[in-house]
Amino acid sequence: MNSLQRFSHPKHPLLLKKDDLLGVDAKCYVCNKTVIGSPTYTCTSHDIECQGLYLHKSCAEFPQRINHENHNQHPLTLRPPLSRWLCDVCLGQGNFVYYCELCEFVLCVDCAFEERVLCHEGHEDTLQLMHRKVLFSCDACYEEAKDSSYVCTTCEFWIHKECALAPLIIQTSPNHHHSLHLIYSIPDMHRYFKRFCAICEGVVQKNSWLYYCHKCTFLVHMKCVTRSDSGSTDNIQDPYNESDLVEFPLPNKESLFDLILSQCGSRFQVVAGEGDNTICAPSTLPYEPDIIEEHWSHKNHPLEKLQYFSIRENANSDNGDDERVLICDGCIQPITATYPSYYACIQCGFFLHSFCATQMPLELPAGTSSFHPQHFLLLKKTECFYNLVKCEVCWFRTNGFYYHCEPCDINIDIRCAFLPARIKHKSHKHHSLVQRPIPSWTTPICSLTKYTIYGGVVYECEICSSFQIHILCLF
């Protein structure tokens, strides 16, 4: 961040925030217009009088003396708001103004730096500035207001000056967590039904200018985009609160294996043999044989295909009907009657779900893993059961299957490799949670357990920035 000491606020240094501000109704101290959507300076002091002091970067860097065509007799000097200035050009009241002491000529900062001829991407012809404020209905926002304006002399297109100078992109707003783009009519795909502003719930005119989120069809009036009627984030629309998002905690012990199967199937097609890294992933075997003579993960002995319900505790057990608890040595999840088919090495006590033995992808194509999309990942297994590898997602160790990135030398266990990038959680019902790596310089606190998280990945709410869950606390 850059610091600055300026005439507009000489008491303390100013700090430039390149990220957009989310202050409720935050206005620039110089021009009294919203700072949302613009790089902005804030005061570094904690004095009460400086709290909430914002200055547009452009306003904070105004020159103290200018020569202007509206008063070319003498230079004009920037003056602070010591009195109620009345601009001699637009007749509007100004906060900071440029002033000629000899002539007592007043020029507001808007008039000092405005564009007289404007080429705007929202209109095919050039627009001419009209200084005098008049009451008219704007062809951009469709609202009637008294303002200076830009007008097209060719086709009588007439818009408020405020609308003409509205930012083309707002990276962050109080009411939405994606960037918003200024568009000049409702997109064709959304014209079949009546559309409403996501903030005021009023009708959106088909040919009005509005702000639009391309990711989630969020439409909002130009004048509503900076409104923040409530400090609560519960009312902010979350387009991802949909029924197809996986909700945690999962209902039972079998659900995680269900999740692995569903996520594996939804991300790519599993094929036998060599696969195209961009659209499919090679599996171990094209079918499930009765015996696998030499499996890549267990080459010492053959693996025999069995059914879970055929395995019981020995006769010395107190309850001969109790089923043994078998753990798959691939995904480290229990083998249950829901998916009864599995492979076993009786000599070693080595077990694999049939899926893990024959259909687990031998590699994940680049872009498949939400945690590490940069490179393709190879499926591996530790040589001995007591050898453990550290998962870079959850930071726990595993002796099961894991995916390995050769260029980056990182490992991801099976459970974490197939976790969705976005989920729902019962502890945070209003908004979805997205997977985020933890920066090395931070140690966040899990919102569920209140324990410090020292590395790996969290699921966090993009709207409620303070809510985050450690990946192992999901279950």
Which band of pLDDT confidence, cut at 50, 70 and 90, is reported for residue 15?
A: confident
Give the model confidence (pLDDT) of 101-150 as tens digits. 899 899 888 788 776 778 888 988 888 888 778 889 999 999 888 888 89
Which residues fall within 8 angstroms of residue 292, CB to CB, at 6 or more apart? 285, 302, 303, 305, 343, 357, 358
Clarify whether residues 361 and 452 are in a common domain: no
**What pLDDT was estimated at residue 264?**
77
Which band of pLDDT confidence, cut at 50, 70 and 90, is reported for residue 304?
A: very high
Which band of pLDDT confidence, cut at 50, 70 and 90, is reported for residue 172?
A: low
CATH number of the CATH domain containing 90: 3.30.60
Q: Is residue 56 part of a domain?
A: yes
Query: Of 10-14, 292-296, 364-368, which one has max mean pLDDT?
Result: 292-296
Clarify whether residues 105 and 137 are in a common domain: no
Give the model confidence (pLDDT) of 393-409 as tens digits. 888 899 999 999 998 89
Clarify whether residues 302 and 344 are in a common domain: yes
Clarify whether residues 353 and 286 are in a common domain: yes
Residue 475 · residue 248 · CB < 8 Å:
yes
Which residues fall within 8 angstroms of residue 193, CB to CB, at 6 or more apart? none
**What pLDDT was estimated at residue 356?**
92
**What pLDDT was estimated at residue 174?**
62
Strands (E), 156-208: 158-160, 169-170, 180-183
The H or E element spanning position 109 is: helix 109-113
Give the model confidence (pLDDT) of 287-298 as tens digits. 788 999 999 999
Query: What is the pLDDT averaged over residues 87-107?
Result: 84
Give the model confidence (pLDDT) of 46-82 as tens digits. 665 566 677 888 788 788 888 888 888 999 998 877 6
Clarify whether residues 292 and 399 are in a common domain: yes
Query: For the chain, how many residues are written?
Result: 475
Query: What is the pLDDT averaged over residues 429-444?
Result: 80
49-71 residues labelled b (16+ CB within 10 A) or e (exposed): eeeebbbbbebbebeeeeebeeb
Tell me what the pLDDT averaged over the chain comes to: 78
Structural domains counted in the chain: 5
**What pLDDT was estimated at residue 432?**
87
pLDDT higher for 227 or 15?
15
Q: Is residue 198 part of a domain?
A: no
Give the Cα separation of 177 and 195 in Å (integer). 20
**What pLDDT was estimated at residue 159?**
93
**What pLDDT was estimated at residue 34?**
74
The H or E element spanning position 239 is: none
Q: Is residue 395 part of a domain?
A: yes
pLDDT at 337 over 70: yes
Clarify whether residues 272 and 381 are in a common domain: yes
Residue 44 · residue 248 · CB < 8 Å:
no
Give the Cα separation of 399 and 109 in Å (integer). 68
- Domain range for 56 is 3-60
**What pLDDT was estimated at residue 279?**
37
What percentage of the chain carries pLDDT values higher than 70?
80
Clarify whether residues 267 and 151 are in a common domain: no
Q: Is residue 169 part of a domain?
A: no
Query: What is the pLDDT averaged over residues 347-375?
Result: 86
Clarify whether residues 107 and 121 are in a common domain: no
Q: Is residue 238 part of a domain?
A: no
Clarify whether residues 380 and 274 are in a common domain: yes
Query: Which of 417, 434, 463 represents a domain boundary (last residue)?
Result: 417
Give the model confidence (pLDDT) of 402-431 as tens digits. 999 998 899 999 989 888 888 888 888 878
Which band of pLDDT confidence, cut at 50, 70 and 90, is reported for residue 10?
A: low
Query: Of 13-27, 155-169, 321-335, which one has max mean pLDDT?
Result: 155-169
Q: Both tokens of residue 377?
A: 């990942």
> 330, 332, 345, 344: which is closest to 300 by C-alpha?
345
Give the Cα separation of 225 and 204 in Å (integer). 13
Give the Cα separation of 419 and 426 in Å (integer). 17
Clarify whether residues 346 and 388 are in a common domain: yes
Q: Both tokens of residue 34?
A: 């919203």
Query: Which of 37, 60, 83 represents a domain boundary (last residue)?
Result: 60
DSSP 141: T
Q: DSSP readout, 283-321? A: ES-SS--SEESSBTTB-SS-EEEEEGGG-B--TTSS-TT
Q: Is residue 188 part of a domain?
A: no
Residue 198 sits at φ, ψ, to 5 deg, of: -70, -15
CATH number of the CATH domain containing 152: 3.30.60.20
pLDDT higher for 159 or 453?
159
**What pLDDT was estimated at residue 379?**
93
Residues forming a β-bridge with 248: 425
Give the model confidence (pLDDT) of 268-286 as tens digits. 544 333 434 333 445 556 6
**What pLDDT was estimated at residue 7?**
54
Q: Is residue 182 part of a domain?
A: no
**What pLDDT was estimated at residue 436?**
84
pLDDT at 170 over 90: no
Residue 54 · residue 29 · CB < 8 Å:
yes
Give the Cα separation of 304 and 299 in Å (integer). 13
Query: Which of 400, 417, 434 represents a domain boundary (last residue)?
Result: 417
**What pLDDT was estimated at residue 301?**
93
Query: What is the pLDDT averaged over residues 237-257?
Result: 70
Clarify whether residues 408 and 259 are in a common domain: yes
Residue 335 · residue 249 · CB < 8 Å:
no
Least confident of 122-136, 155-169, 212-226, 355-369: 212-226
Q: How many helices (H) and strands (E) does the chain have?
A: 6, 37
Clarify whether residues 329 and 390 are in a common domain: yes
Which band of pLDDT confidence, cut at 50, 70 and 90, is reported for residue 449?
A: confident
